[in-house]
Structure 1
Amino acid sequence: MEARRETPLGGTEGPHAAPGVWAIVQRWWRWAQEHWLLPVLALAALVRFYDLTAAAIWGDEGSSLLLSQYSLPNIWVHAAHDVHPPLYFMLLHGWIELFGDGIFSIRLLSALPGIATVWLGVWLMDLLATRRAALLTGFLLALLPTAVRYSQEVRMYSLLGLWLIGATIALIYWVRHPRHTRYLVAYTLLMVVAFYTHYFTALCVLCHWLYLGFIRVQPGYRLRHIQRPGWWLANVAIVLLYLPWVPNFIDLIQHMDQLKANGDVGWETPVTLGSLPSMLWSFLMQDDGETLPSLMFIAMPLAMLAIAGVALAHDRSVFRGSVLLVIYTALPLLLVFGVSFISPVFIERYLTAFALGLPMIVALAIDRLYSGFKVLALTVLVLFVGVELVGLKNNATVDTKDQISVMVDYVNRHFVTGDRIVTSDMLWYLSYVYYNRADAKPLLYTPPLATGASSRPNAYGFGTLVTQDIYLDNLGGLPKGSGRVWLIGTVDVPDEFAPLPAGWQRIDETHAGGANARLFVLH
């Protein structure tokens, strides 16, 4: 009898096996072992490119596009009056110069960093734990609904996640190799660009300092990195490189009342104790969870607390990577939640970069549970993925026929030379101008307040993006032109333009995406 030999895949090869088939299988197996990250990145790309152009440009995205139309020096000036630093808008300016302002192109600038961040998350976990934990991290990060959502918006949140995870990787390399200053140089540069992208980068700085403080005082082998001159010099360098922007930030803080008057800040509703679990549900399911049964509603924070406990309890490493991940994820969330009892800033998109730590902690816990509690580990994995899939479905529930773009297209097709277009609200205006193809500049209706004061935006927030000639204080002051006016307002809110001038007759109306367009003839 001929002997049967074991194959690298664990099977056996008999005399009648087809060597050519086995050779192909073995080659594919070796390729998968060497290139296991590619399917993860393909999944990340798939969910981010799916329906990338389905949702219409909304107000915040429209503000990004308006700001990016300025020259780079003027972007610096106007961003100083906006609620975000200038780097993203400068990058968007250059991106549009190269690739145009089509909706796929402009959202691609967010999708690509989102995909790259999945790769960085895998890299980070590969440094902190096992290859299995890294693979799980990539899979769960690829599906994270809040990361997918903000990889599909013309805003800076996806880019911020890229910078912060990259900086955290550089920090870990430096902790492991403190004599290699190149890691601190990389850390410094990444933190600087993060600060020029979003002010909440300061929360990441706190996380990194707290982590270094922890490993300095941990029982056993204590790491003194927080005392090293290189660390202090790196932070001084960050401050020095950010100094050109600091006067603008101080000026913005001093004019916070004007931002609140415009509604650019202070619009968030006050937080309650339920806001914290709601935020976690929003990260994972794109729903605040408030309609869920009470026990299920509070199960999320309790489950995440238990999962974090597992990740921390089984960490026997010198560098305590699980501590870094828990601090990175929990500290910003809890700190902003606490601050929001004074001034509400508990906003999902501002914290999405830190929510990237949630799937990493889950992956770490599953990896450590798997050795002794396989069924429990797989149960956690299935439940977490199930919640993420619900969130992805919520992300994708976009009715392409019920978008403001549909309404604007209707106006474009029925526009007659000489028609006037008036919007009732700044957010409608910001969306409308992107889709406007008519030969008329949309106007923004700003009637005097009941006190007689002007309702025009001031020079801060969205008000810095537009010129004074777009404001219309009195409908009766419109030049007659063709004798027709399109009023763009909110569906079921007919009094936004009331009272209309005498003799106006409505002859057409359409609505989509929560906005309506009414066409009036002036007699």
Structure 2
Amino acid sequence: MGVFGSGRPFMWRDELATWSVAHRSVPEIMDVLHHLDAVIGPYYLFMHFWTELFGDSLTSLRLPSALAMAGAAVFVTLTGRKVFGPATGLMAGLLFAFTPSVSRYGQEARGYAFVVLAIAAATFFLLRALERPTVLRWLPYSLSLFAAGLFHLISLVVVAGHAVVVLMRWWRPRNHRLLIGFALSVVLGALPLTPLAMVGQTQVGRQLGWLDAPSLQYVAAGFWPGLFHSYWFGLCVIALALLPLAWAKGRRVVVELAMVAVVPIVLVWLISQSGTAYFIDRYLLFTLTAWSVLAAAGLSRLRPKPVAAIGLAVVVLLGVPDQRSVRQKYSRETWDGVAASKVIAEHYRPGDGLVTLGGDYRFFQLDVVLDYTLPEDVKLKGVFFKKDRVANGDIYPALCSDQELKACIGDTQRVWAITVGPPGYVFNQYSAAEKAVLNEVFPKQTNYVVRDMNVTLLERGPATG
């Protein structure tokens, strides 16, 4: 499911950042991490070596995420099998694999799928260690927590849900080995991540400053559909997950898994009410592993038995429209950077420059789009750059000030200006100073329109209208 159709949608801004950073040398990557995205650094380094071995096609860039989601499906199946039996394990793995958001992030060049894999493994290894709390059983749990935090520190909130499970198991026998083993395992897994957390904390404002404190209305209307990437699929999974809570027997383990699914969501919501907000569906994607097991438990108990198989098929079919949508060409971005590159390549002359977007529009990373899509013999010089993004140690270039714009253009005879928007939206995303200088220096302007983009060739010489 992760590989199918993964080469069709073009990269969106987060994936562009992945390619941009992973494409650099290791020292250049470390330079970026001193300024930005330190908490994503392990993933960038992994992708650097991955692309050196397997190339950077869209499918290749996204293949690690597909493999990670496949691994997560294994642990979801094993968890369901351990707790409820083989039939539930099989259904849990299938529900997880066919969840539209699992396909969505199994086809994304970011680290979220790695986190889902690590948390799925951690939950399985925790349940295994609680059966027989030995060092050899706690160690895989520690390693899984370390891996989860390495790829996304926020995912360690799952420890709160796991702690509730441990307390429930400890309560009756008062087996202190459970508490001691769990506490030591958490410390062993989390302590090596302390330097990463400290550096990440200094960068959190820039990385997450765009997130607002989540309202309860957002939780109901935005978060749940986003978590499953499908309104109807998600509604069915949650409804099925609630069924086991009505069981007369075996309810304890259902409550335990419910804690793994719900406590991280509640905790991140509460933390996000003051200070930095972290509440966004993809940051809590790892909770899908527990939701899938709970829903499969409810589904597998339906009688007669063929009803369970029919129910599974119905839920999967409800997700088909959303499965199709995540694989559409414009499912990530509505504009067509590939078409823009073809226009430039067709009319290119050596020495051409590029006017990249800055300010509030720099997140489009159109210079990265062109670097990825243009032929190797088409090289555009950033005319408004003081430093390109590599020299700047960032995912964005350092742009010239308003007073330096003419000097930065120098004697460049032709430049390409690219904006995102409808036809005629040529200079709307540039500052007033940039517009004035471009119109003065390059009066001859030829505009090419592609999907949701304007590709404008600016030349010195008399205006052509």
TM-score by length of 2: 0.83
Number of the residue aligned with 1:268: 211
Q: 2:103 aligns to what?
A: 148
**1:446 CA displacement:** 8.3
Structure 1 residues 191-200 or 330-339, which shifts more?
330-339
Query: Which of 356, 375, 388 lines up with 2:319 in the alignment?
Result: 388
Structure 2 counterpart of 1:61, one-letter code: E
Which residue number corresponds to residue 246 of structure 2?
313
Q: Deviations over 1:293-349 (max 9, x none)?
A: xxx9xx966x6665333223327449x432332122222223333444445433222
Aligned match of 2:261 = 329
Are residues 68 and 223 of structure 1, via their aligned partners in 2, closer, same or farther at CA, if it must alter by over 3 Å?
farther
Match of 2:362 in 1: 426
Within 5 Å, which residues of 2 pair with 1:377-456? 377=308, 380-399=311-330, 403-424=336-357, 425-429=361-365, 430-437=368-375, 439-441=378-380, 443=382
Supply the distance in 1 between the matched residues of 2:179 and 2:280 (Cα, whole angstroms).
Answer: 36
Q: 1:28 aligns to what?
A: none
Cα separation, partners in 2 of 1:247 and 1:285, compared to 1, 3 Å: closer
Q: 1:172 to 1:155 in 2, by over 3 A?
A: same
Preserved contact between residue 150 and residue 158 of structure 1 (Cα < 8 Å): yes
Structure 1 residues 318-357: aligned runs within 5 Å: 320-342=252-274, 343-357=276-290
Which ranges of 4 or more aligned residues in structure 1 deviate by more than 4 Å?
303-306, 377-380, 399-402, 444-447, 456-459, 470-475
Where does the alignment leave 5 or more consecutive residues of structure 2 unmatched?
none
**Structure 1 counterpart of 2:17, from 52, 63, 70:** 63
What amino acid sits opposite 1:387 in the alignment?
A: L
The 2-side partners of 1:224 and 1:382 are apart by 43
Q: Secondary structure, in 3 states, of the residue corresponding to 2:153?
A: coil
Moved more, 149-158 or 118-127: 118-127
Q: Which letter maps to 2:17?
A: S
1:215-250 superposed Cα distances (whole Å, 9 cap, x missing partner)? 333xxx546367543322222222332234243134
Residue from 407, 428, 451 that aligns with 1:477:
407
1:509 to 425, 431, 447: 447
Partners in 2 of 1:215 and 1:163 — Cα distance? 22
Match of 1:43 in 2: none
1:420, CA displacement in angstroms?
0.4
For 2:381 and 2:137, the matched residues in 1 are separated by 50
> Which residue is 2:183 aligned to?
232
Instruction: Among all aligned residue pairs of Structure 1 and Structure 2, give the percentage whose two residues are the same amino acid.
Output: 21
Aligned equivalents of 1:442, 1:159: Cα separation in 2: 36
How many pairs align?
440
SS of structure 1 residue aligned to 2:415? strand
CA shift at 1:60, angstroms?
0.8
In structure 1, the partner of 2:88 is 133
Structure possessing the higher radius of gyration over alpha carbons: 1
Equivalent-residue separation in structure 2 for 1:486 and 1:458 (angstroms): 18
Which range is displaced more, 208-217 or 188-197? 208-217
Matches within 5 A, 1:132-211: 132-179=87-134, 181-211=135-165
Contact residue 178 and residue 225 of structure 1 kept, 8 A: no
Query: 2:228: which partner in 1?
Result: 284
CA shift for structure 1 position 282: 2.3
- Give the TM-score of the pair, scaled to structure 1: 0.75
1:135 offset after TM fit, Å? 1.3
| Kept in 1: contact 2:8–2:328 (CA 8 A) | no
CA deviations on 1:374-401 (whole Å, 9 max, x unpaired) are 75x5675355323322321221232599
Distance 1:326 1:274 in 2: 22
Alignment partners' CA distance in 2, 1:271 and 1:512: 36
CA distance in 2, matches of 1:346, 1:479: 43
SS at match of 1:268: coil
- CA change 1:481–1:91 in 2 (3 A) is same
In structure 1, the gaps of 5 or more residues are 1-46, 290-295, 448-455
